Structure 1
């Protein structure tokens, strides 16, 4: 693929994200080798949640930047678990998990419906914006709005972003930063209904073409945004 084509794909992804649309991001074949459906968290609707659970099928997560997570005292989940299962991680694709606490917004009911999850997701984006604007939003304000455990899994971005880690968490957050959106993005792995495995890149590209969504390789995004 030419450098011009790679740049064009990254530019299209950035333009879509800036406009509030979803992007398909394939991380790296030598990492997870997965394609995620990625949305700016501040514009997620119940219909977008339905698309993620029906068309993607993976775990619906909200990635927050390290600075936002730090400001509201959101830890890495593995650091909080006093159980033998958390003693050692042997991930085949990374040094540590990005998972933080799963939460629900306090104004939701069960937290799992499309409407409830969309509410939690957009309120997480609002919280991230509040932290960024420096209005004194911290752990107490966050706890007043959200409860844990819940049905929206929060991911904590690496401190130096793509300089530390090149997972979907950091790729999505880098895309949000470049698009001047809040440091909160939704990521959901695309799975194959027939095999039960990660959706192959060719199939993900076809899905993107059919729905007129941008598809971009993680390496191209890193080159364009890092």
Structure 2
């Protein structure tokens, strides 16, 4: 008697349209002799498909690479992968208008953070979650933060997700990962909310991943890698007559 063979189905995107991105390492890596970023159009196409991208800021600023992913596409599996390969201090960049709709206030009245990163009060989505810290709970929280049907009373404060208030004008106004996340969503017609966190090296000290480390990581996972400055230049070219 023949036993039917079943193939596990890929998880659907949250909108049910096509398979969600899954973290699968590249088996055969191509050897690069010189460092290079990926074309901005390729990164935007990948982001539009729901894939994370690696984004470097300026070497004279933080000199760090962030994983950035559309919040609306962030599954539990994707969140668990992000937590594993980063500092774990997962943030979500949101426009000021959305934060005001949800009544999420700034963390402190006087921001003394070195780069003026606009941290707000932390939150958890209160329905279908437990402590708020698991990959499931955090992924659900970020998805609901960009869900227009979710209201202020759906979130508890404080929580385990860290919203950041993106500056109006995006990377044109501020060359930060916070603004980059919103611009990536805007340029790919996705709900404006980006999950982001700093990459760290897989070493005993958990050192921060720098440019070449980030390139190796992106190649290992088949991700596109760009810089904040590249996105700013792209946005500038779109507004040039």
Select which of 9, 14, 22 maps to 2:52: 22
Select which of 218, 231, 236 maps to 1:221: 231
Larger-Rg structure: 2
SS in 1 for 2:157: strand
| 2:218 matched residue in structure 1 | 208
Query: Gaps (5+ residues) in structure 1?
Result: 80-86, 131-140
CA RMSD of aligned residues (A): 1.8
Cα 1:35–1:88 shift into 2, 3 Å: closer
| 1:100 matched residue in structure 2 | 120
Cα 1:88–1:12 shift into 2, 3 Å: closer
8 Å CA contact 2:101–2:151 kept in 1: the answer is no
SS in 1 for 2:55: strand
SS in 1 for 2:121: strand
Query: Gaps (5+ residues) in structure 2?
Result: 1-35, 237-241
Higher helix share: 1
Q: TM-score, normalised by structure 2?
A: 0.77
Q: TM-score, normalised by structure 1?
A: 0.82
Shift of 1:9: 1.8
Structure number with the bigger relative contact order (C-alpha 8 A, sep ≥ 6) is: 1
Shift of 1:42: 0.4
Q: How many residues align?
A: 199
Shift of 1:90: 5.5
Cα 1:51–1:208 shift into 2, 3 Å: same
SS in 2 for 1:36: strand
Cα 1:189–1:67 shift into 2, 3 Å: same
| 1:126 matched residue in structure 2 | 147
Provide the C-alpha distance between the structure 1 equivalents of 2:187 and 2:218, rounded to a whole number of angstroms.
21
Q: Is 1:113 aligned with 2:134?
A: yes
